[in-house]
Chains A and B, each alone.
Chain A
Amino acid sequence: MNVRLYVLQRATAAIMAPLVIGHLIVIFYATSRGLSAGDILGRTRGSVGWGLFYGVFVLAVAIHGAIGLRGILAEWTPLKSKGALDALMWLFGLTLAALGLRAVMAVVL
């Protein structure tokens, strides 16, 4: 891991820390109030705030997770080629981002 990946991973961790807490609060709130799927969608549809909250969360997770996976592959598998490691990191990160943003759009739009 070079300094650029290190800074990106630490920065996304710092972004995720409060978002994880917010996400847990949302889960506890929704379950304790017994909100239905319709109730939740009623609150999230058209909401710029929820779109930003989970959009940023997804992007931070995609960057953080992809860099972490690159480190695991480099240290725990025979894969040593920088090009292959970078390619897998990008593939994993873009896949996570695409799947996550698709889910965010489904509840916001």
Chain B
Amino acid sequence: MTGMIEVSLWRGKADGRYQTYQVPQRANQTVLDVVTWVQRNADPTLSYRFACRVGMCGSCAMTVNGRPRWTCRTHTSKVIEDGKLEIGPLANLPVIKDLAADLTRFFEKWQRAKGVFAPSKTRKDPIERISPASAPRIAADAAIECINCAVCYAACDTVRWNEDYLGPAALNRAWTLVNDVKDAGNKTRLAAIAEAGGCHACHSHQSCQEHCPNKLNPTASIAGLKRRTMQAYIKGEL
């Protein structure tokens, strides 16, 4: 495959602008390859973030032709439009510089949603056996492969409208722990996600599951949290 791609990259902070580069088109070329080519051959001051390049670390998500994507696993041939690519930082997050978004707020919300395992046993207790066929484990398994890429967060309308909203990824993480029978933190976790900005702020637009590169369904996780918090509220536990 030959030819050139007209690539527009966001340069600067929030008040920056798109700058266009001509990048050689290659077979099996990813969007991350394109960005890397620009930095190594056209402008070494270009800032962007990546680590593993194989869809494991969740570092390289960007907005590609208006849609949040993991760039290391996105082939240019599948997203290019009229020979052009427009690549910007993730939406719904502050821009540090160029293509690097500031994820501080995103991870603070994981903390707010109590997305940390709360142990219920000591190291002296025997390891609890969890049947893979048990209902809580199946529910946790369905949501657990999140790589923290923030694609769902950037795609979420509710995050855009309500800066207090915890977002799909943090709530999806909370759902995996709610279903972890070894976790002892559900009382505080359910109380945290039942507050304003928690799971009940979700409008079920399902952009998170539409855009999730790992094909997870945070909308279903959030629906589970809505049910669980509602039951706890009716029982007077919240």
Contact = CB atoms under 8 A, between A and B. Distances in A.
Interface of A: 1-7, 10, 74-76, 82
A7 B161 contact: no
A79 to B, nearest CB: 12
Of listed B161, B196, B200, B226, residue having the most chain A CB within 10 A: B200
Nearest to A10: B230
A1 B233 contact: no
Interface string B145-163: 0000000000000100110
Contacts, number: 31
Nearest to B232: A3
B230 A7 contact: yes
Interface range on chain B: under 10, 10 to 19, 20 to 34, or 35 or more? 10 to 19
B233 A3 contact: yes
B161 A2 contact: no
A3 B200 contact: yes
A76 B161 CA distance: 7
Nearest to B191: A3
Contacts of A6: 200, 226, 230
Given A3-B238, A75-B162, A76-B161, A82 B196 contact: yes
Contacts of A3: 194-195, 198, 200, 229-230, 233, 238
A4 B161 contact: no
Contact of A2 (B158, B162, B194, B234): B194
A74 B165 CA distance: 11
A5 B200 contact: yes
Given A74-B162, A75-B161, A75-B162, A4 B233 contact: yes
Contacts of A5: 200
Given A3-B198, A10-B230, 20 more contacts: A1-B196, A1-B200, A1-B201, A2-B195, A2-B196, A2-B198, A3-B194, A3-B195, A3-B200, A3-B229, A3-B230, A4-B233, A5-B200, A6-B200, A6-B230, A74-B162, A75-B158, A75-B161, A76-B161, A82-B196
Given A1-B196, A2-B195, A7 B201 contact: no
A47 B45 CA distance: 79
Interface in B195-223: 195-196, 198, 200-201
A3 B27 CA distance: 51
23 contacts: A1-B196, A1-B201, A2-B194, A2-B198, A2-B200, A3-B195, A3-B198, A3-B229, A3-B230, A3-B233, A3-B238, A4-B233, A5-B200, A6-B200, A6-B226, A6-B230, A7-B234, A10-B230, A74-B162, A75-B158, A75-B161, A76-B161, A82-B196
Contacts of B198: 2-3
Contacts of B233: 3-4, 7
A84 B196 CA distance: 15
Contacts of A1: 196, 200-201
Sort A-B residue pairs by CB-CB distance and give the 10 closest, nearest first: A3-B194, A75-B161, A6-B200, A1-B200, A3-B233, A2-B196, A3-B229, A2-B195, A75-B162, A1-B201
